[in-house]
Structure 1
Amino acid sequence: MKLKNRGVPCDFPQDTGIDFRGIFPYKEELLMTHQALIIAAGFGSRLQRHDGDIPKPLRKVGGMPLIKRAILCGKEAGIREFVIVVGFQKEKIIQALDEKKLGVKLTFVENPEWEKPNGVSVLKAKPHLLENFVLLMSDHIFEPRTLAKLIKAPLWENKAILAVDTKLESIFDMDDATKVVVEKDQIKEIGKELKNYNAVDTGMFLCSQEVFTVLEETSKTKAPSLSNGIRLLAKRNQMGSMDVGNAFWQDVDTKGSLKHAERFLLNSCRKPTDGLISRNFNRYISLFITKYLLKTSLSANTVTFLTTLVGVTSGILVAQGTYLPLIVGAFLFKLSSILDGCDGEMSRITMTSSKLGQWLDTASDNFTYVCFFIGAVVGLFNQGHPHALLLGSLALLGVGMTLLVMFTYLIKHTDSGSLLAIQKDFQQNQTTSPFKKFFQSVSFMTKRDFFSVTFLFMALVNRLDWIVLSTILGAHAMWMVLISNRLGLFKASNQELIKVHSLKE
């Protein structure tokens, strides 16, 4: 018997009664498919505006068209070729997608019968799909890790696998969801009208070529639909399932589901590395601002530049040394720390993170720090403080040493431009020096969200000297701790590079 498993033929003896799946190992890279079929032919009546000005796949969620997000998520999961079936307003969809910019191969297939069930669109793509493939919906949002798991799943005796969600309590609109009955990883029943079910269809499939055969069988009596094809495979015990676990997905079919998907994308920007104030205050404001920035044509890098201007202005005002400019400058410094989250949130949501963006963010953040600290030193001098020169020299020396250690580390020992790489390596470092233990207990004080608020309170009581003194203590403590933990200048050159994929704090 010749068993085809994800395009890798394997000879197994017949009629032995033995389950060879647990005996013969398989390699994920051999099983992995690189083709995806995206259905983007329908009208999407429930999400259309009254004038039908834009096809549903081009409706933006989080500042990005649905179909573009599906392609980029697929690319991140390992898909390199996309076959896209178009119908309603096909010209707009084709013009909106540039394979050079997306970095993948795109093949467009027209379905003039786009008003018929979606099985027709699947059959139209048959000549372009010569191996196993994943089937995606153009109006679904999903996490790349879910698709990465699906494309590595072995089919075994199944002809297709459906990704299902068993977290029934988290389904946004259960009435509209396609319900599924799953038993031992096999689909038994599927349909929107099911009364008893234990999972929901997420719209992500891993398909073998036999899916076309099944759809052609169902088309003999009526127009083929994907659900009817699944039912037929389920009756033959050839329709598998894969639980998406705690991963998010959403069928964006109504205005309500669109808003729900946007809320998830925004909240996904919250990170465990956020400081106390950032987690409980800054993020709420930055996410609110980001929500509206995504509706503009501004890029994340442009927002980075504008945020830097706010920070530089804070330094200029603090340098005046008088009370009112000091308060306004400290407030702008705090504001810049809030706005600093917006560019990273935009990059994450629009999937435009890059190493250049990481370096731009890191450089602009530290340029803002330097401008503010220099402004504080100049302001102290303008106040006529007797030790302004000494305190200023110590502060700038500490800041300079810290920047030298951190940037040396990033350049020599990471594949990242983000300071999160230092935080990650510091936490993983096994050194148990007293410096490290103490620094860990007060590390929240080194985060911008904390010290920007502290500086604001110091400005309110007109203590610019406290700002300079705290800068001296914090900066010198930081570079000494980093060096004591063999980071930065003195880290061994043969250690593994640290990669940080999250663009910004």
Structure 2
Amino acid sequence: MSESLTQQQAEIHGLATAILLPSASVFGDAIERRPGVAGPLTSVVGIGLFQRAVLTLQRAGIRQLIVLAGQEEDQLKQALGRGPRVTIAVRWMPIREFPLDDPRTWDVLAEEVHGFCLIASARGLFSRPLIESLRRDVQHGQAILVAQPAGRPGAGERRVPVTVRAERLLALGSARGEESGLVAGELLVVPASLMQSSNTPDSTEDTIPIRSWIERAARDGRVRVLRTDVNPSEWYQDVRTQDDVPRAERRLFSSLKGEFEGFVDRYFNRKLSRWFTRVFLVLGLSPNAITMIATVIGILAAAEFGIGTYSAGILAAALFQLAAVIDCCDGEVARLTFTESPFGAWLDIAMDNVVHMAIFAGIAVGAYQRAAGQDEAWTPLALGAAAIVGNALSFMLVNRAQKIKAASGWKTPVHAAWSDFMLKNVASRDFSVIVLLFALLSKLEWFLWMAATGSIVFAVLMLWVIRPSATSRA
């Protein structure tokens, strides 16, 4: 079977279509328009719930989107037009012409779906890994229901409890002797065959038939439950009232994580960077602008190191730590506002290396000034030069490794694993704390020995890792 035919069949039988219900709950409740109730235009970190849902689905690989919109259709279109570019196909179907409680509406939709369909409302936030997991786990004839811990419901909330056994849905509601502590999220996946009116009993007239589909499939053992409290990256967060917005924003911020970050990033820099990120979002700064702010602070720190005094070293180390904190913010803003770009990722890495080499040079000059007139005063300059050369080589090799990874060009899985290990555990900003420690001890020249040795060893190891793959690609 040819590769193109395999891809076509995967597309036909996979999950590539989503239906969004901005004006109603997946399980039939209309979204009330009263003070305090969240709607599809409710803003979470500067972007409306509906817009966030569309952009997250787009990033997760959904290729077709059908929106069953009510009276807010024009406002939703305007919101999509103002934000990051939407590249997936969007079909707007007004519910005044396609009522949600009319089985014929779902017959029309079933004809548009090939394989499986994701159905969601605009009453919650969900992560891209959650959608990617749903896309990977679809099985012929099986539905998937997303469930979350029940927690404490808000005033007036109507939530659907689920009864689960061995990851299979037993019932929507609490069955006798079966309490799972879970409630259904406003997100599920159904096969197109389940959406047809022949699967809708007459008793569901005047209601959205989705619940009856799930209950029928559950009786046949054809509904798998995906819990959002198992994998932290696959999360779902209800946003039904304005009181839920701060919780949703905290969940968004807690989900932020860079590709390469170490212990200090995770447990210190990220804790502080979120405060700066909130300020940058209010100011409307782009991720690239934040990258340049961190770069300027880092270069100022390098210049301060060059003065060579103890107090200047302490101030420079503090500035360098501040630059490391702000350097976390560009990625956070990019992920929160869906403005990631290949150029932005390259600029972030490039400016990081510019700052690091400037820091090495500044510390070397400062150590040289402190040792001026001594026989070995040249040693700090030599160590600084070695650290800069090693850093430059490492930057070039890391770029090459990322190109090989993007092209799936690793010669063996062992080389790919070594590359990931080195990038995730060595290429991080954690050494900013080490610099601060040496500055406090007035032993910055010791750091030069470590930087020179470490950067050269890292470059040699990266060369050893990528050389076989680079040679085979050539």
TM-score (structure 1 length as normaliser): 0.73
- Conservation of the 8 A alpha-carbon contact between 1:135 and 1:205: yes
Q: Which residue of 2 aligns with 1:248?
A: 235
How far apart are 1:66 and its partner, in Å? 2.1
Aligned residue for 1:102, secondary structure, equals coil
Residues 411-430 of structure 1: pairs in structure 2 closer than 5 A: 411-415=399-403, 428-429=417-418
One-letter amino acid matched to 1:97: L
Q: Which residue of 1 aligns with 2:252?
A: 265
Aligned residue for 2:66, secondary structure, equals strand
How far apart are 1:83 and its partner, in Å? 0.8
One-letter amino acid matched to 2:392: L
**Cα pair distance change 1:212/1:192, threshold 3 Å:** farther
- Conservation of the 8 A alpha-carbon contact between 1:182 and 1:188: yes
Q: Which residue of 2 aligns with 1:227?
A: 211
**Cα pair distance change 1:125/1:192, threshold 3 Å:** farther
Unmatched tracts of structure 1, length 5 or more: 1-26, 431-435, 498-505
For each residue in 1:105-135, what CA deviation from the matched residue of structure 2 results, as whole angstroms up to 9, or x when unmatched? 1111222499x9x546993793585224221
One-letter amino acid matched to 1:454: I
Aligned residue for 2:340, secondary structure, equals coil
How far apart are 1:360 and its partner, in Å? 0.7
One-letter amino acid matched to 1:31: H
Per mean C-alpha deviation after superposition, the further-off stretch among 268-277 and 278-287 is 268-277
How far apart are the structure 1 equivalents of 2:324 and 2:141? 55
Residues 239-388 of structure 1: pairs in structure 2 closer than 5 A: 240-244=223-227, 245-246=230-231, 247-270=234-257, 274-383=261-370, 385-386=372-373
Aligned residue for 2:118, secondary structure, equals strand
Q: Which residue of 1 aligns with 2:14?
A: 32
Residues 69-218 of structure 1: pairs in structure 2 closer than 5 A: 69-98=52-81, 101-112=85-96, 119=101, 123=105, 126=108, 129-132=111-114, 133-151=117-135, 153=137, 156=140, 161-165=143-147, 168=149, 171=151, 173=153, 176-182=158-164, 187-191=169-173, 196-198=178-180, 199-202=182-185, 203-213=187-197, 217-218=201-202
**Cα pair distance change 1:145/1:60, threshold 3 Å:** same
**CA RMSD in angstroms, aligned pairs only:** 4.3
How far apart are the structure 2 equivalents of 1:58 and 1:337? 35
Q: Which residue of 2 aligns with 1:391?
A: 379
**Cα pair distance change 1:407/1:156, threshold 3 Å:** closer
Per mean C-alpha deviation after superposition, the further-off stretch among 192-201 and 394-403 is 192-201
**Of 445, 449, 453, the match for 1:472:** 449
How far apart are 1:314 and its partner, in Å? 1.2
How far apart are the structure 2 equivalents of 1:351 and 1:307? 21
Q: Which residue of 1 aligns with 2:3?
A: none
**Of 427, 436, 458, the match for 1:456:** 436
Aligned residue for 2:403, secondary structure, equals coil
**Cα pair distance change 1:263/1:425, threshold 3 Å:** farther
TM-score (structure 2 length as normaliser): 0.77
Unmatched tracts of structure 2, length 5 or more: 1-8, 25-29
- Conservation of the 8 A alpha-carbon contact between 2:101 and 2:205: no
**Cα pair distance change 1:76/1:447, threshold 3 Å:** closer
- Conservation of the 8 A alpha-carbon contact between 1:214 and 1:233: no
- Conservation of the 8 A alpha-carbon contact between 2:391 and 2:455: no
- Conservation of the 8 A alpha-carbon contact between 2:22 and 2:122: yes
- Conservation of the 8 A alpha-carbon contact between 1:300 and 1:346: yes
For each residue in 1:395-438, what CA deviation from the matched residue of structure 2 results, as whole angstroms up to 9, or x when unmatched? 332223223322332343323899xxx9x9889339xxxxx9xx
How far apart are 1:301 and its partner, in Å? 1.6
Aligned residue for 1:82, secondary structure, equals strand
- Conservation of the 8 A alpha-carbon contact between 1:41 and 1:90: no
How far apart are the structure 2 equivalents of 1:290 and 1:426? 36
**Percent identity for Structure 1 against Structure 2:** 21
How far apart are the structure 2 equivalents of 1:125 and 1:140? 26
For each residue in 1:324-356, what CA deviation from the matched residue of structure 2 results, as whole angstroms up to 9, or x when unmatched? 433322211111112211222223333433321
How far apart are the structure 2 equivalents of 1:253 and 1:283? 28
**Cα pair distance change 1:407/1:282, threshold 3 Å:** closer
**Of 393, 406, 417, the match for 2:394:** 406
One-letter amino acid matched to 1:479: I
Q: Which residue of 2 aligns with 1:7?
A: none
**Cα pair distance change 1:234/1:376, threshold 3 Å:** closer
How far apart are 1:80 and its partner, in Å? 0.5
One-letter amino acid matched to 1:67: F
**Cα pair distance change 1:100/1:309, threshold 3 Å:** closer
How far apart are the structure 1 equivalents of 2:204 and 2:466? 72
For each residue in 1:433-460, what CA deviation from the matched residue of structure 2 results, as whole angstroms up to 9, or x when unmatched? xxx9xx99xx77x8533x3233334434
